[in-house]
Amino acid sequence: MSDETIKSAAELAAERAAKATDAAEGTAEKTLEELVEAAEQVVGPEEEDVVSSAKLAEELEAQKDKYVRLAAEFDNFRKRTAREFTEQQVVAQGKAFAGLFPVVDNFERAFQDAPEDGDWVPADPVAFAKGMRLIRDQLRKVLADAGIEEIPAVGTPFDPNFHDALTQMPHAEVPADHVAVVHARGWKKGDRVLRHAQVIVSTGPQLAGD
């Protein structure tokens, strides 16, 4: 084989190698460009300036401080509200109890001549009874001023929402299932029952032979 033939073969091989290298580089460049383009599509141009971890930590700390302040403010509000509610209760109870003081004074005056122990008969029983009725009416007024009302009972239909039945009994005038006798008065404030009336319920007139 001549030198020219060998040279031509070598040049041909070199040319082929160069073409292969160019093709490989072109492929590599194309692949790199495709990867960059794909990454840009995933990340998006608006997210290129990502918040640094330090800035994110700073924002988290700010939110934590805000939460702690809100929690402290709410706790102070809760305590203040509870304190104000307690104070309002004390004031309201004080006003209600203040009306009882004159009643206690009148009781003391009524019994000022009575001995501490033993039986006692007032010098004027009629006047004493009258005085007791006046004190009773005074006490009822205190309750009425506080919005407390007596629950109607005698002659009304028995209602378990307002009455506690102690027993039953025949009654010539009160129809069956109506209140015949009140053993203890019931009281309410508005729609709220403070104490049910303890009553005896009529079974109606007693039949002959019963």
Domain ranges of the chain: 149-210
Residue predicted with more confidence, 133 or 117: 133
What number is the average pLDDT over the span 57-82? 90
pLDDT at 57: 83
pLDDT at 86: 92
**Parallel, antiparallel or unpaired: strands 148-150 and 179-184:** unpaired
Amino acid at 153: A
Q: CA of 147: how far to CAs of 50, 140, 141, 152, 193, in Å?
A: 68, 11, 10, 15, 12
User: How do residues 88-131 score in pLDDT, each as one tens digit?
Assistant: 988 888 887 888 999 999 999 998 888 888 788 888 999 999 99
Q: Give 188's strand partners.
A: 149, 193
Q: Helix, strand or coil for residue 182? A: strand
Supply the DSSP string of 96-147, one letter for each residue: HHHTTHHHHHHHHHHTTTS-SSS----SSHHHHHHHHHHHHHHHHHHHHHTT
Residue predicted with more confidence, 53 or 152: 152
CA–CA distance, 180 with 187 (Å, rounded to integer): 18
Signed CA dihedral, 14, 17, 23, 27: sign only: negative
Which CATH number applies to 149-210? Answer: 2.30.22.10
What number is the average pLDDT over the span 146-160? 95
Percent of the chain with pLDDT over 90: 51
Q: CA of 37: how far to CAs of 27, 33, 48, 59, in Å?
A: 15, 6, 13, 32
CA–CA distance, 141 with 87 (Å, rounded to integer): 25
User: How do residues 121-132 score in pLDDT, each as one tens digit?
Assistant: 888 999 999 999
Would you place residue 3 in the very low, low, confident or very high pLDDT band (cuts 50, 70, 90)? very low
